[in-house]
Structure 1
Amino acid sequence: MTDPDEALAEFEKHLRFERDLSPHTVRAYLSDVTALLAHLDEGLAGLDTAALREWLAEQHAAGLSRATLARRTACMRTFTAFVHRRGWLPEDPGLLLGSAKAARPLPAVLDQQQAQAVLDAPQASEPKELRDQAVMELLYATGVRVSELCALDVDDVDRDRNVIRVLGKGRKERSVPFGLPALRAVDRWCVHGRPRWIKEGTGPALFLGVRGGRLDAGTVRRIVHARLGNVEGVPDMGPHGLRHTAATHLLEGGADLRSVQEMLGHASLNTTQIYTHVSIERLRAAYRQAHPRA
């Protein structure tokens, strides 16, 4: 079978059900492959290393970022390996494709005083205030992804061990510890806030929207931006910025890299190592500012 539409449909099933990739990643990969197939004059028969390099060169000439080119290169390798395994290509042209290295800019993070100022809030009484405070405390305490936070159910909070059960990328489950401030905020929300928003069919979601449904990622982003905007001098960032901040503060406090990797749910230690660079850069900046002979 060499029909491009059929190959694309089978590739989508492979990504969704065999690789179990997130919907966002599946959409990105399918978009990339669709663009590649439109570039080929002879369908899959014209898919070789030269065609791949030509297509990527056009993307580079169009001004695409290094990160986008790196993702598209990875996508092409996944696709060519897939069609080769299915017997639709005699060879895998992606094996000879060079790696496009994405730039790894250091993430913006809050310092510990800024994080404290953001989390210090007057005693809340309304459901929205209680929920927002619990969301902020839990994001900073655990460093979980926003999608992981939204997916939490009430029973995922283990109050005996002070951990939450998180279903991360690749549907891998992990336990992430949190501290007393986060526990108190979550308990106040569960006792005084969440019951007032429960509707018929609400389900087990830990965090709810005003209509009683599961809290969505867009609302979490608005919560974070609003809370950071209330504190003068604090850089604006989204939930991922709190994840970066949590990881950096853990390392600055003496946590080892493997523990932070486990907590964040990183598949590779290389991903976690960026936070050691963040800590070093913060140390250098403080030195330059404070030392008389810097």
Structure 2
Amino acid sequence: MPSKSIEERFPALAVCPPALAWLRMRADFGLAPRTVDAYGRGLAEYLAFCNAQSVSVVDAGRDHVARFVRELTDRPSRRPELLPFAPSPPRLANATIQQRLTAVRLFYDYLVEEGLRVTSPVGRGRYTPGACLGTARHGLVPRYVHLPWIPNEDGWAAILAIAAAEPIRNRTMLAFAYDAGLRREELCALRTDDIDPARRMLRVRAEATKSRRERIVPYSAPAGELLRAYLAHRAEFSSARGPLFLSESRRNPAEPITPWTWSKVVRRIALAAGEPRFGTHTLRHLCLTDLARAGWEVHAIATFAGHRSTATTLRYIHLSGRDLAAKLAAGMAQLHERRIALLAATPMGMA
């Protein structure tokens, strides 16, 4: 089935030629499909807001953008179960708001470049070194950087208990997603010729990665056993080389499994285990955190994960608590020694 056009996916953009032209251009420049979809959703929401305000999106001013920001920050979350510690009622996640505003800002940059506006109504936040607090310019909305969420041992045990009853394909996919720290798209894009069973290595193709960088990563012996069992099962309904993980539904048998189908599988497992925050990316978070706990250096983890910047990788080092625990242990050892030395000292006049 051919993929839908931008007009079909975002009908709100079809009535605004500049918006449609901008999103098409971003797609033509090779932007990742998920990013194009995110920009399309964000811009469609902004167009709907401007329409409700009876203002042309091309002529909107900073006051309209400010009202849109207020609407976003006041909007309740559609998935409150994923924000158990948020104020009541839970609002949109900070990352979602930032994503929406990025689409609006880039769209207005385009309008300025095309001569349709003189200036953009969306300011760019920037930090001025040495400036006093309150004098530096910031973004429209404060940006919060949260550590990735991973389940505790009880939560992980619950996930594994439910996963144990899953079909061999799903168990193999779960094992590879964790073992190799794969993103959802990377997992679903694996092909039969990407696997090297002799060396227990797999290739993650550049076109499937977020950074557009190919990498080779290992997988464990238990994952290899699951893979052998799955390949024997796969041969019962398809002997063709190509996509590794195939759909077994009646609607599209032997077709490549889609990221959306895989998300539904993981979502079903998460709800059955009583861990609604668990998602396809959680397996990657858990893998990288475990590598940090095991003492891997930050550059090694970054290479394994395919991160462009080690700043992203450092989040998993912090989440593991490895460095802080080591410093705490060293500090407590020195403090302990000093206290013991004081107790062992003989007070004057008591010898």
Q: Same fold per TM (> 0.5)?
A: yes
Aligned-residue RMSD, C-alpha:
3.9
Q: Which amino acid aligns with 2:73?
A: H
Q: How does 1:221-232 map to 2 (within 5 A)?
A: 221=263, 223-224=265-266
Does residue 43 of structure 2 align to residue 5 of structure 1? no
**Closer, same or farther: CA 107–150 of 1 in aligned 2, 3 Å:** same
- Distance in 2, Cα, partners of 1:256 & 1:120: 32
Task: Name the structure 1 match of 2:339.
Answer: none
Separation in 1, partners of 2:244, 2:68 = 46
* Contact kept? 2:163, 2:269, Cα under 8 Å: no
Contact 1:20 1:170 in 2 (8 A): no
TM-aligned CA distance change 1:203 to 1:33, over 3 Å: farther
Corresponding letter in the other structure for 1:56:
V
Equivalence for 1:141? 179
Name the structure 1 match of 2:25: 14
Distance 2:222 2:61 in 1: 57
Equivalences, count: 277
Confirm whether residue 47 of structure 1 aligns to residue 60 of structure 2: yes
Moved more, 133-142 or 13-22: 13-22
**1:58-69 matched pairs, under 5 angstroms:** 58-63=71-76, 64-65=91-92, 66-69=94-97
Match of 1:195 among 211, 230, 235: 235
Distance in 2 between the 1:154 and 1:101 partners?
45
Deviates more, 1:85-94 or 1:114-123: 114-123
Matched, 1:214 2:214: no
Q: Provide the identity percentage.
A: 23
SS, match of residue 32 in structure 1 = helix
**Aligned with residue 27 of structure 1, among 26, 40, 58:** 40
Q: Which residue of 2 aligns with 1:163?
A: 202
Shift of 1:157: 1.8
Moved more, 60-69 or 218-227: 218-227
How many angstroms apart in 2 are the aligned matches of 1:278 and 1:34?
39
2:288 maps to which residue? 247
- Deviation per residue, 1:204-246 (Å, 9 max, x gap): 1100121211123344345546667888x98872222211110
Structure number with larger C-alpha Rg: 2
**Partner amino acid for 1:29?**
G
- Preserved contact between residue 192 and residue 241 of structure 2 (Cα < 8 Å): no
Whole-Å Cα distance in 1 between the matches of residues 187 and 74 of structure 2?
39
Greater shift, 260-269 or 221-230, is seen at 221-230
Q: Higher relative contact order by CA 8 Å / sep ≥ 6: 1 or 2?
A: 1
Give 1:90 shift.
Answer: 1.7
- Which position in structure 2 is the counterpart of 1:181? 222
What is the alpha-carbon distance in structure 2 between the residues aligned to residue 114 and residue 17 of structure 1?
A: 43
Q: Deviations over 1:82-130 (max 9, x none)?
A: 2222222122333346242344444332467976896699999xxx733
Residues 3-56 of structure 1: per-residue CA shift (max 9 Å, x gap): 971101101202212151324324323323423542564524423333322321
How far apart, CA to CA, are the structure 2 residues paired with 1:203 and 1:99?
50
* Conserved? CA contact 1:59–1:69, under 8 Å: yes
Q: Point out the structure with the larger helix share.
A: 1
Gaps of 5+ in 2: 1-13, 77-90, 126-138, 329-351
Q: Is the 8 A contact 1:49 1:93 kept in 2?
A: yes
Report deviation, 1:149: 0.8
Aligned to 1:204: 242
In 1, are the aligned partners of 2:168 and 2:230 still within 8 Å (CA)?
A: yes
Paired residues of 2:211 and 2:307 also in contact (CA < 8 A): no
Pair 123,84 (structure 1): closer, same or farther in 2 beyond 3 Å = closer
Show the 5 A alignment for 1:89-108.
Answer: 89-96=117-124, 98-108=139-149
CA deviations over 1:230-280 (Å, ceiling 9, x no partner): 88x988722222111101101001112233233333344333332223212
Contact kept, 8 Å, 2:289 with 2:317, in 1: the verdict is yes
The alignment status of 1:262 with 2:303, answered yes or no, reads yes
Equivalent residue for 1:80, pick from 108, 118, 123:
108
Q: Give the 3 Å change call, closer, same or farther, for CA 152–101 of structure 1 in structure 2.
A: farther
| Cα pair distance change 1:110/1:267, threshold 3 Å | same
**Which residue of 1 is the match for residue 129 of structure 2?**
none
The verdict on how the C-alpha distance between 1:156 and 1:119 changes in structure 2, with shifts beyond 3 A counting, is farther
Q: Is the 8 A contact 2:22 2:107 kept in 1?
A: yes
- Tell me if the contact between 1:12 and 1:30 (Cα under 8 Å) persists in the aligned partners: no
In structure 1, distance between residues paired with 2:39 and 2:61: 23
Unaligned runs of 5+ in 1: 288-294
- What SS does the aligned partner of 1:169 have? coil
